[in-house]
Structures are given as C-alpha cells and as structure tokens.
Chains A and B, each alone.
Chain A
Amino acid sequence: MNSESNVLRESALESERVATVTASQTWSFYWSVRREIWENRWIYIGQLAVAGVFLVGFLFNMTRWLDKMRGLSTTDPAKYWETVSLPYNIGAGALMGALILMTIFYSSEALYGERRDRSILFWKSLPVSDLTTVFAKASIPLVILPLLTFGITIALHLIMLLLSSIVLPASGISLAWWWKELAIFPMWGMLLYHILLGHVLWPFPVYCWLILVSGWARRAPLLWAALPVVVIGGLEKLIFGTAHFAAIVGTRLIGGGAPTDVTHGEMFPTGPMTHLTPLRYLGAPGLWIGLVVAAAFLAAAIRMRRYRDPV
C-alpha cells in the first residue's frame, strides 16, 4: 500500500516535471522568437517603409489611375478588374518582393550574426537548446515575416481604400461599381493563399539551406550558399547544355513554378477569376520533396550550431 502510494506520488512528480519542462520549452521558444524580432527590427521597419514609399507613389499617380478608369470602354468588361485593382496589386507585389529579399537576407545571417559578434557565448550560457534556437530562427521566414507582410499589405490596402473612396466620387466614378469590381475580400484571401503556399512552403528548402550555411560559413554566408548553385548549374550547362538546376532553384526562390494557382501565368494571380488548385498543390511531389529536404537542412543546422565555434 505504502509503496504503491509512493509509486503514485513519484509518477505524479514525474508528470509534473515533464509538464514543467514542456512549459519552459514553450516559453524558451516564445522568448527566442521575441529576441529575433528585437534583434531584427528592420524586418517590420523595412516593410513599413516599403508600404510608406508605395503610398506616396500611389498619391502621385492617383490622377493617372483615375483617367485610366474613366477611359475604360464598356465593351471590354474583362479589363475592369485589371485596371481597378492595379495599384492594389502593385502594392501587394512590392511588399512581396521585399519579403523575398528580407527572407534571403535574414536566413543567410540567422546563425552567422551571433557567431560573428561572439554573442553565441552568451546565448549558450542560458538553458535554451540548439533545437529551440534554430526553430525560433526558422520561424521568422516561415511564420513571422509572411504574416507581417500580409498584415502590412492589408493595412496599406485599407489606407488606399479610404483615399480612393474620398477621391472617386469627386472624380465622377461610381463608388458602388468600383467596389464591386475590386472585390477586395477575395483578393485578400487569394493574397494569403499565395503568400503561404508560394512564398513560404514552396521556397522553404532554400531558406533552410541559407540557415544551414549561415551556421557553417566563416565569412560571407550568402556567397557560400550561392556557390554550389553556381557550380552545379555551371557544370550542368557545360556538360549537358541545359539549365534545369538553376531553374529549379530560381523558381523555388521567387515562388514561381509552384503549382498553386497559376492558370494563366499572371504576374499577380490574385484576381477573382484565378482558379485555386490547393489539391493539385498539396498533391505535388515537388512540395513534399522540398519539405523533406528543408527538414534535413534544419536538422543539419541544429547540429551545426552545436558544434561550430564563434567566427
């Protein structure tokens, strides 16, 4: 009886210990992500700046856009959406371009910066595992930056909507017609879909490769990361005269070639007419091969952080 209650108490203690460990790991992860955002404030300052610059451009080009809408021919309704949504799509596109650049830059510095300034010796003096740290760093290109970009795009669109709804009635364009043609909510849904599939999951192996090299390189991690691409691509060109490898990496990087939704090869496939093909996307072997490769790169990056000394 006594030993039984002892066993019970011990198992209760054990489960309590496990719960504490899990809770503290969750907190470690949360704080590790926060420290990434503190350290890399430029990720949101940069996106806000891009949005701000675009907004100025929007204001300056407002009259041109209004003229274009007034000049729309009633015989060609297919052109309506394209013209009405043009500034909204360009704004979203600018932020997405910045997203790609920032993700590349962030990932190639991820495990390098702390080795260069030797602060890794501070981070490693704390009870945070290499796995937690690398996951927290990978969450920036995987979650934080895309959601941040989406959020800032929505905010930008809201300001543009407000400005448009002031200007449009004054220039004799029907607000109701414009609102109906713009179809902003489907556009936002499409945008989120496009960002998550085309700019997160599809290029994720490239970002994980950059994170891995950032944990290995003694200097210029971005150049080191590009080197095998250049070498393999160059050899392929020399020997076979083809450029498949470079094309694969290129399309991975800019999200093109992902079987997401590109039915008519639009630059900004956010139109209401675009066919969403999530099943085709999720069924594409390329997606899953990419994610397995990404996982392998991340596992290697965790090992790298454990072994590598400061630069």
Chain B
Amino acid sequence: MSVIEAHGLRKAFGTTVAVDGIDLRVDEGHILGLIGPNGAGKTTALNAILGLTPYQGELKVLGRDPWEEREQLMRDVCFIADVAVLPRWMRVSHALEYMAGVHPRFDRTRAEGFLEKTSISQHSKVRELSKGMVVQLHLALVMAIDAKLLVLDEPTLGLDILFRKQFYDSLLNNYFDATRTIIVTTHQVEEVQHVLTDLMFINHGSIVLKCSMEEFEARYVEVMVKPEQLAAARALKPIYERQVFGRSLLVFDQVDRQQLNPLGEMRTPSIADLFVAVMGHHRGAAQGAAR
C-alpha cells in the first residue's frame, strides 16, 4: 500500500522554486531517508506532506489531501518538525493529559512507560529539561501514538552522540514495524545508514537519486585502488574519486564486481560519500549541459 503518492509536486516562494515538480511514492513499512544540502527543498516537501503549506500538483497522503484534510490526517500521521518545538511552559504531565485528550490513538500508559526509562520527571516543565531530554519527551509522546506515518525533520540536531544513538535505537526497537512508515531528514547521515530501508537524495527541489538500501548496496562499490591499477580503474569510469592517506578511493556505479575485484579492496560506500559523489556528478552534468 502506498502511504505517500505525489505527482508533479511543486512549491514556489515568489520566484524561488523550493520543490520543482517531484514524483514520489513511499510504501508502507519503509524507512526513507531524505538527504540533501541546506535549502534543497526537504523541509518544504515535508511541510506539503504534513499539510502545513499549500502546493501545486497532486499529493495524497494515506489517501487524503494534506492541505485540505490536515486535521483528519493527523490522526494517522505524526511528526517531529524540528528540535525543541514543545511549548516551554508545558508540564510533562500536562503534555500527557493534553495528548490523551485530543488524540484518539494516543496511549498514555505507553508514553509513561517510555518516560520511565528516562530521567524525565512528570512534574518538570519543558523549559527545565535539557535539549536531549526534550527530544526524548517528544519521541515518547510520538511513539505512543498508533500512527501509520511518522515524519522526522532533523530530529537529532544539536544533540550529543549518545542521545542520537539512543533516539534511533529506540525508534527501531520500540516503534517501527511492517505497518508503519518513517521519513527522516538529517545531516548526520552515517548514523542513519543502517536504519534506513530507502534512500532519496534531493537537490534544488528535484530528486537526484532514489533507491532502496539493497539497490544501493548492489549498485555502488567503493574500491581502494592500488596505485599501479589506477589507470585501469579510471578507465571503468568511476563516478567519484578521492585521496585518503595517499591511497585512491574510487566509487563505481553499476560496474561488474568481477572487473573491480583485481583493482583493490571493495566495500559499500557510505551514504555521505555517495552523496558527495552524486551531487558532484550532478553539478558536473549540469555544468556540462550549460556548456
């Protein structure tokens, strides 16, 4: 079942095009990582999906038009739009009470269970909590909602590595299952590499790359090329090349592993390296086209 379906989704602010007619389909039971540089249009696309901004083109989330039916949609969708959006004056107990009051799918006992594993007291106000604790609280609230789609926009920005690790562990162990779908944007791509099932690169409002993690692993190979093999390796048209400690690391796209094996040590590239490779490639291609 498709959770999100978009055709020609477009959003412009004046003359600036933030999302430039993207087509997108996200199926149930996937964790999609939306990766792109600042200003690539990630947040705008997510805002359209969440019914926070009007858009052009066709967009259905769980079969609904998000802009027209935000209220109904939010029974099945939840999101953490940014770090620290929980109202600072609110008490933890108020947040639990309020959520239980307005959200038909919120399970207070479950949220309290999550909170017991942290050092957050129910009497505390949000302003008294550390940044990491606020994120823990928000995650506890969100994970206690029996939602079909969870959207996380830079949920761990500014947190230390311990909290970030805990965040994703908790999400995978206590929340994610085959009936749920998660979309996450982050700049800390190394940390989500093993969490994602699907990957999407977005730049200048367009999708640059979309593949599943299996495809990613099958398609891209990074080879630490021996110096004497460098000419042979370059002949196979790597999409990216960089030097590390005097060794050359080359990334190949859809090149037969039999051919690559003699050139050096092979491994799956990191998302970060692929991102740089694809974005550089993309930019080069764009410049080539301009020429």
Contacts and interface: CB of A to CB of B under 8 A. Distances in A.
User: Do the two chains belong together in a single complex?
Assistant: yes
Interface of A: 24, 27-28, 30-32, 34-35, 38-39, 114, 117-122, 124-129, 307, 309
A125 B147 CA distance: 12
Interface in B190-237: none
Interface of B: 50-54, 70-75, 78-82, 84-91, 94, 97-99, 101-104, 138
Given A38-B90, A124-B70, A127-B75, A31 B102 contact: yes
B281 to A, nearest CB: 34
Given A35-B94, A39-B89, A127-B75, A121 B81 contact: yes
A129 B82 contact: no
B81 A125 contact: yes
Nearest to A113: B87
B82 A121 contact: yes
B123 to A, nearest CB: 14
A128 B88 contact: no
Contacts, number: 73
Nearest to A114: B87
25 contacts: A28-B102, A30-B101, A31-B97, A31-B98, A31-B101, A34-B101, A38-B89, A38-B94, A39-B90, A119-B85, A119-B86, A120-B85, A121-B52, A121-B81, A121-B85, A122-B81, A125-B50, A125-B74, A125-B81, A126-B74, A127-B72, A127-B73, A127-B103, A128-B74, A307-B54
B86 A127 contact: no
A30 B86 CA distance: 20
Contact of B87 (A34, A117, A124, A126): A117
B236 to A, nearest CB: 47
B87 A125 contact: no
Given A38-B94, A118-B84, 12 more contacts: A27-B101, A27-B102, A28-B101, A31-B102, A118-B85, A119-B88, A120-B85, A121-B85, A122-B85, A125-B74, A125-B78, A127-B71
Nearest to B88: A117
A73 to B, nearest CB: 56
